[in-house]
Every structure is written in C-alpha cells, then in structure tokens.
Amino acid sequence: MHQRFTSVITILLLVSVGLGCSLLRPSGPLTWHLLLEIDPATPNREAATQQTVNIIESRLNAFGVHNYKILAQGPPPNGRILVSLSDVPDRERLKKLITAGGLLEFTAVVSPPNPSPVQTYSTKQDALASLGGTLPANRRVLPYSERIDASKSDQGSEANRRSTEWIVVEAPAIVDGSDLRNAAAIEASPGAEDYSISFSLRSSGAEKFGAWTASHINDYLGVVLNGEVKSIAYSKSQILDQGAISGRFTKQSAEDLALVLKSGALPAPVKIVEEGDNK
C-alpha cells in the first residue's frame, strides 16, 4: 500500500454518415491513407462500423483536419474503414487520435477509506487473492501507474513512471464517458508543465455522481481510461457536475485526451491494418 494522494477530490469531474457512403472535405490532395479494422469479435459489427465512422469524423473535425474521405469497405459486416487524409505535420499523433479507445469511467475503489492509504497490490494475482481467488461479477482488477517526476524534460521516459500496481474497483462504474458534457485541457497550476483535464457532466451523470459522493465521504474514487486507472482521490464532499482529472499530463496529451473524450468512445477496439501514401 502506498499513500500517493496529495489532495482530496476537488476531483474528478469538471466532468454521425451512413455505411457505404464517403465523407469528402474538398481542398488539397489526399496524400495518405489508413485502413482500419474493427475487432472481429465485436457483436453487430455493421452498427459498430457506422458508429466508428461517425466518431472518427468528429475527431478529425475537432483536430482541424477538414480534408479527408472516410469509406466503409465492402458489404456489411466487413468491419473495415478506409480513411484518406491530407498531410499533417505529425502523422503518428493523428493515428493515435483516430484509434484511441476513449473509454472513460469513474469507479469506486475497494479500499479502506481516507485517511488510510488506498489499497493497492503489487501483482494482479495478489489483487485476485484478496477476493478469494475468484473475480465476482461486481468487481474488476485494473492496472494503476502514474508519473513520479514531471520536472524531467523527457516526460515520456520509463524513468518518469512508477511501476504498475493493481487496484480492485467496483462494477459497474458510477458514471462513464457517455455522461460527459465537455472536457478541456488546463494547466494544473499557473506556469506549471503539468496539465489536467477539466470536465463537466450532463444532468443525468451529475445526479448519479452527486448521489455517490454525498453518501461516500472519504471513500476512494478512481478515474479509469481504457481499462487503466489514471488517478485516484477521495470524496471530501458532494460533487455534482464539475471537476478535473489529474495525472501529470503534458499539454499535448491533455489536449488530445480532452478531444477524444468529447468525441466519445469507440464502440470496439480498432487497429491499423494498412498505412501508405496515395498514388
């Protein structure tokens, strides 16, 4: 167990293109392309493909890429999407934005309440052992890691991260990304290199979150992104519709994550199966 939390939870919550048709934003050549494939195990791949096309379009527009063409490939349920793009300064960044899962959840952490340190485990097996060796339907075991030195210039290095530990959380989540109304990158403090993500919740999400935080004072709450715990805090008082996600983000990573969260989570995992320049 480690006590890693510098503060309470002023936390956490400052909290559409048919299949087979293409989306074209004229002006300039489409110089390169990505061929995406939705996880073959996805139920109703036809619907998931359509939803994925819509979300990618939203992300490209928000990122300022207005010249692109998106086309679902083959007869349903093929599950492949061709994205043709104009050139951008950072292709790798754009690829990450397009394929990011974007699944945000706020979950109750199974732990003694504050002021006891949050309960963590050094291995997944240890976390499962705390549950009797079998994972019940109302629990999840998730990895947890965070940076420990944001002052170093290379904020992406392994030296800047703690080794992964494991957390037990309750299921289902209290609220998730579908309850999100808005998100934006903000400086953690004036002049700081670290950034956070402020967010606000829709009324339905605010009602659920407010009810939980009011009845769980001093209990720990985790921010989970794509199945990984990003930050943990405890509930000091009732929280309704606004908060911030901390995690020592860089400016770019905070901006990109806020964009992904606002556009919504992809309905299924997506991978790039082909990338190349257009002839």
Task: Over range 133-162, report the average pLDDT.
Answer: 68
CATH architecture under which domain 104-262 falls: 2-Layer Sandwich (3.30)
Q: What is the pLDDT of residues 31-68, one digit of tens each?
A: 999 999 999 999 999 999 999 999 999 999 999 998 99
Task: Over range 111-133, report the average pLDDT.
Answer: 96
State the DSSP code for 252.
H
What pLDDT score was predicted for residue 27? 54
C-alpha 106: how far from chain center: 11
What span, in angstroms and rounded, lies between the C-alpha atoms of 91 and 62?
16
210 contacts 174 by C-beta, under 8 angstroms = no
Give the number of other Cβ atoms within 10 Å of residue 161's Cβ.
15
Q: What is the pLDDT of residues 200-250, one digit of tens each?
A: 999 999 999 999 999 999 999 999 999 999 889 898 899 888 888 877 789
What pLDDT score was predicted for residue 193? 79
Task: Over range 273-278, report the average pLDDT.
Answer: 96
**Checking DSSP bridges between strand 242-249 and strand 270-277, what pairing results, if any?**
unpaired
Of 158-162, 175-179, 256-260, which range is least confident?
158-162
Task: Over range 160-177, report the average pLDDT.
Answer: 87
CATH architecture under which domain 23-101+265-277 falls: 2-Layer Sandwich (3.30)
Convert 50-100 into a string of H (helix), E (strand) and C (coil).
HHHHHHHHHHHHHHCCCCEEEEEECCCCCCEEEEEECCCCCHHHHHHHHHC
- Domain parsing of the chain, residue ranges: 23-101+265-277, 104-262
Q: In a 3-state reduction of DSSP, which class is residue 224?
A: strand
Give the number of other Cβ atoms within 10 Å of residue 125's Cβ.
11
What pTM does this model have? 0.77
164 contacts 144 by C-beta, under 8 angstroms = yes
Q: In a 3-state reduction of DSSP, which class is residue 10?
A: coil
For the beta sheet containing 195-201, the strands, ordered from the edge strand earlier in sequence to the opposite edge, are 180-187, 195-201, 242-249
The closest of 240, 168, 238, 228 to 199, measured between CA atoms, is 240
Helix crossing, 91-99 with 45-63: angle to 10°? Answer: 140
Q: In a 3-state reduction of DSSP, which class is residue 9?
A: coil
25 contacts 56 by C-beta, under 8 angstroms = no
Distances (CA, A) of 202 to 59, 177, 226, 232, 242: 20, 10, 21, 22, 10
Percent of the chain residues topping a pLDDT of 70: 84
